[in-house]
A and B are shown apart, each in its own frame.
Chain A
Amino acid sequence: MNSFMQRMIRVAGLLLLFGSETTWGQQADTAEVYANWRDRIAQIQVIDRQADTKAGLGSGFFTGQAGWVVTNYHVIAELVNEPGRYRARYLSDSDIKGDLELLAVDAVHDLALLRTDGLEQRPLELAADSPPKGTRLWSLGYPYDIGLTIVEGTYNGQLQKSLYDKLHFTGSINPGMSGGPTLNSKGEVVGVNVSTAGNQVSFLVPVQHVAALLERAENKAANEEQLNREVAHQLLENQQYILDRLFAEEVPLTRLNEFSVPAGLAPFINCWGNSQEEQENDLALVYYRCQTNDDIFLSGALTTGIIQYQHDLVSTKGLGALRFFRQLEKRSIYPQLRLNGDERSVSNYECQDGFVDQDKLPLKVTYCVRAYKKLTGLYDGFLNITSLTGNREALQSSMVLAGFSWENLNLFAKYFLKAYSWDPTGENRDE
C-alpha cells in the first residue's frame, strides 16, 4: 500500500470516529449500536436434562455484578418449578456456551437474575431516566433462534391502563427476544423485552425493576424452596397492592335492566359488552365482561394475578320457566371464565353453594376455591351467581380471582357480591 492510500485510510478512520462520537449525543446508527453492544447480549437456553437439548429459548443481557445476566422470569420459569428436570445455559454472541445459576426472581414484573459459570462480559448500564416519547430505541435479542438481531423502534411512554408499569415500544419484538434489552443511543438499558400485541406494539419492563432486583440480589444461587417462598411472598404483596387500589374507591356499578352489578372496578380492569340474540335457541343475551390484562406468568401451566368477571343478562320470549332454567343450568356447567393450572401447581376446586338474599335480590351462588401447592398461602377463587327473580329473565354472573391470600379472596368475593342490587319497579333507575 502506498503512502497516499495509508493517509486516506487514516482520514476515513478519523471521520468515522468523529461521526460516531457525534451520534452518541445525537443520532446513533443501528449498525453501530449493534456493533458496540452485541457482546453484552446472550441467548438463554432452558435445557431438558434428560433430552439434553433446548426446551425453551429467550434472551438476556449482562448487567450488575460480574457474570450476572438478567432475563424474563417467564423464560426460566421451569427452573423454579422443576429444577430437577431443567437447567439453564447461555450462548454468547461469540458462541461461548456455559451453565447458568438462578440467583433471584421478580415474578410479578417478569424478571430473573442469573449468573454465568465464569463468562464475565462488561455489564450494560441501566438508564437513570425514562426517555422522552418518540425517542429512538433499539431492542436486541435472539428471535426464533435465528441469531442475534437488532430491532429499531420508538419509545411511546408508559401504559396508562396497566396494573404494573410497562413501557410501550413501537417495534417488532418477536418470540425468543424475551429478556433481551432495549437500549437508548448511549447503550443504556431502558427496558427489558417482555411481550408483544403484534403489529409492532410491544411492551418492556421498566429498568427501575431491574435496578431493584439487582439491589436486593445476593451473589449466590437460590434453591427451589427459597425461590418458591420468594415468589409466593411477591404474589402475596402483589395481591395486597391490587386490592388496596380496588378498595380505595366505591364500587362502580353498571345497570343491566333491573339489576345493578359491579362495573370496571379500576382503570386497570378493562370492560366491554355487547348483546346478541340466539333466534334458534330462543335466548337473548346482553353481556358485560371485565378483566385485568396484567396476568403473571408462573409456568406454562399456571398464570396468576388475574381478576375477571362477566355479567350475562339472559332472557327468553318463548321458553317456559322449567325449560329456561334448564338452559341456565347448562350454561353454568361449563363456565366461560376459567383459570389454567395443572396437578403439580394447584389443587382441585372445592365448592359450596346456596341461596343468598342480597339486598332483596334472591340469588343462587356457587363459590369454589383451590389452593396453590408450591406457593403456600395463595388461592384461586370462582364465583357463579344466578338471579332467581323471574321466569323469563335472569342475571348470570361469574368471577375468577387468581393468586390471592385466603382472607383477601373471601374479602373480594364478598365485596363483589355485596355490590349487587335489584330494582324491579324501576324507581331508582336513571332515565
Chain B
Amino acid sequence: MSEATVGSKTDSRSGVVEILNRSGQVLQRFMYGGGRISIGRAYDNDIIIGDAYVCPHHLRISSEGGKIVLEDLDSVNGTWHRKGRDRLQKTELPEDELLQFGHSQLRFRSLGTSVDPTRKDTARRGLFDMLGRTWMLPLAVGSCVLTLALGNILDNPRELSPGALATQIDYPLLGVMLWAGFWSLINRLIAHRANFKIHLSIASLAVVALFINGQGIPLIGFAFGWSESVAWIKTLGQILVTGTALIIHMKFVAHGRTWVQALGAGVFALIMMGIPQYEQLSQRSEFSSLPKLTPLLKPPAVRLVNGVSVEDFFSRADTLRQKLEKDAQE
C-alpha cells in the first residue's frame, strides 16, 4: 500500500482517496488537496490503476463550487455505488462510501476520519518474538524429531536401527508439516504472509509438550500412587497443550481479541483431544468380559510412597462391592 499527494492546491474539502481491491483491502491512499485528478489505467493519469477492467481514462475527481465531484468518463464498465444499481455519471463524491469501478473500489475519507487505537504488537514480544528467531526452527524441529524417536524407542522392546526409527517417525513428522502448512495457508489468506517457519516451530514444540505430558503425568501418577486419575489428568494436559498451540498459531494469523481466540482454541482443542479421549474413557462403562486395566508400571526408583499391607489393601475392597451394587441398581 502506498500513499501520495495529488491535486493542484489545497481545497477546503481536502481528504484522502483510497483505492481498494474487490475484497476491500486498501491498496493505495492519495492525499487529495483540491483541483482535478484523473483515475485510470493509462500512465498519464494522476492515479494509475492496475486493473484490466478499468478504462485507460476511467473517471475524474474535481472540486466544483466547494464540492468534490466524481465524473465517469464514459468508461466501458462504468462507476457504481457498491450496493446500488444506478450507474454514476457525474455526482458529488460521498464520504466513507465505497464506489466500484472495474474490479476496484474507491473511497473518499475526510482528514478528520477517526482511526482505531494503536494495537500492541504482541507477536513481536517475548515468546512470540522468539518464535520468529532464526535459531528457533532448527531447535523446535530437532526437539520434535528427538521426541518422536525417544517415544518409539521407549515403546519398542527391539533395538531399532536408524532406518527403522526413521520409518517409525516419518508419518508423525509429515503430520506436523501438514499442520504447519495448514496454518501457513490460513495465515497467507488472512494476513498475506505465510509464516511457515513460525507455524512449524509452534507445531513441533506442541509435539514436544504432548510427549512430556504423555510421559510425565504417568510417571508422577505412579510415583504418588494416583494411577486411577492419571488418564483424566493426561487428557486435561493434552487439551491445554493443544489449546495453547492453537492460540499461538492464531496470534500470527490475525490480531483478534485474545479471549475470542482463547475460546476458539479451547473449543477446538476439546473437540480434537477431549472428545476422542472422553469416548475412550466412557467406553469403560460398556460391557466387557475383561477387566479394563490401565496399569501404571514404572521402575521401582520412581515410587515415592510406601505400600500398604495386604490386609489394608483388601480392606478397601468394600468400596468395589458398593460400586457393583450401585451399578446393579442402575
Contact = CB atoms under 8 A, between A and B. Distances in A.
Interface of A: 278, 280-283, 316, 318-319, 321-329, 332-335, 338-343, 346-358, 362-371, 373, 379, 382, 384, 386, 388-391, 406, 410, 413-414, 417-418
Given A352-B319, A354-B225, A382-B291, A322 B299 contact: yes
A414 B310 CA distance: 7
Contact of B297 (A278, A334, A339, A364): A364
A353 B228 contact: yes
A342 B158 CA distance: 37
Contact of A332 (B153, B228, B293, B321): B293
A348 B310 contact: no
Contacts of A373: 328
Contact of A369 (B225, B227, B301, B324): B324
Given A355-B225, A358-B310, A371-B324, A327 B289 contact: no
Interface string B125-155: 0000000000000000000000000000111
Of A280, A348, A367, A379, most buried by chain B (CB within 10 Å of CB) is A348
Contacts, number: 151
A368 B291 contact: yes
Interface of B: 153-159, 225, 227-228, 285, 287-301, 303, 305-311, 313-314, 316-317, 319-321, 323-325, 327-328
B300 A390 contact: yes
Nearest to A390: B300
A386 B154 CA distance: 19
B310 A371 contact: no
B153 to A, nearest CB: 7
18 contacts: A283-B157, A321-B301, A322-B154, A322-B298, A339-B289, A348-B285, A348-B292, A349-B291, A352-B228, A354-B316, A355-B303, A358-B310, A363-B307, A371-B324, A371-B328, A379-B324, A388-B300, A414-B314
A414 B159 CA distance: 40
Given A358-B310, A371-B328, A414-B314, A351 B292 contact: yes
B289 A282 contact: no
Given A348-B287, A371-B328, A413-B314, A357 B295 contact: no
Of B154, B291, B310, B319, most buried by chain A (CB within 10 Å of CB) is B291
A321 B300 CA distance: 9
A348 B327 contact: yes
B289 A365 contact: no
Contacts of A364: 295-297
Given A333-B294, A391-B299, A341 B311 contact: no
Contact of A282 (B158, B306, B311): B158
Contact of B313 (A281, A356, A370): A356
A176 to B, nearest CB: 28
B310 A356 contact: yes
A326 B154 contact: yes
Contacts of A413: 314
